[in-house]
Amino acid sequence: MSLKQYMDVNPEVAKALEEGRPVVALESTIISHGMPYPQNKETALKVEEIIRAEGAVPATMAIINGRLKIGCTAEDIEYLGKKGLAVNKTSRRDLPILVAKKEDGATTVATTMILASMAGIKVFATGGVGGVHRGAETTMDISADLEELAMTPVMVVCAGAKSILDLGLTLEYLETKGVPVIGYQTKELPAFYTSKSGFGVDYRLDTPEEIAEAFYVKQQLNMKGGMLVTNPIPTAFEMDPAVINKAIEQAVREANEQGVKGKNITPFLLDRIQQITGGDSLNSNIQLVFNNARLAAKTAVALAKLEK
């Protein structure tokens, strides 16, 4: 029995992988759950353009009618964008069920890592990674993204952990699991909407080539798990910490009052923050995704050269 019976690999992606050319994985939850239509579709297509411009091939992951899509078409992205929140938000636990039931699924960071690893893709660009939620000492609400980083050999390039989380506990969890947290040209963990959080990263690396070499050596040493590369949002697009933190606190308070939990909490918080900030957070979100795509593509290009 082969994975191929469940998987559709986009011909462009398949050819790049066969030839040892750089490929960058992309998630689809950001399309269905992260932004409204049509910004979600437009952002997803622009991210793919940016990756191609840097010399790599994009591979947007999703599940459509039970098929694992390794590289969505423009039509697939339009479909996910329009269907929006009606698409199942898919983490590791959901994957076999949705495939067996032939349903649609938008991949989270964790599931995108799984599909990328299945296909042999080693670099993945996203917005922000999940983590330990505020109040997790009583709720035990910890994103599956962190456990996936501990297990699955994929580099994740992000703008840090979402600032709706407990950043200190998120870093502690990653340390326990042995996941290297790299700051790109910074020693401080970015906080998604802002470039600074007050928390330090494990290592600062200043070029895509340095990042690629660190991940290459990790693979050569046969060490399991991935690597988290945190890339600060460009200064021109970061938000005032006081404004965004006030919006986050209000959104978290409303989520608690309304009993929002589990996989619904992040989409709820991001939507409320967007509303509270009058759309400013959405623009910041889009720009940081573009920034991460550029770094991921450059890193994938450097990694492909090392692996030849």
Which residues are part of the catalytic machinery?
A: 27, 162
User: What length is written for the chain?
Assistant: 308
Question: What is the C-alpha separation between 99 and 8, in angstroms, rounded?
Answer: 12
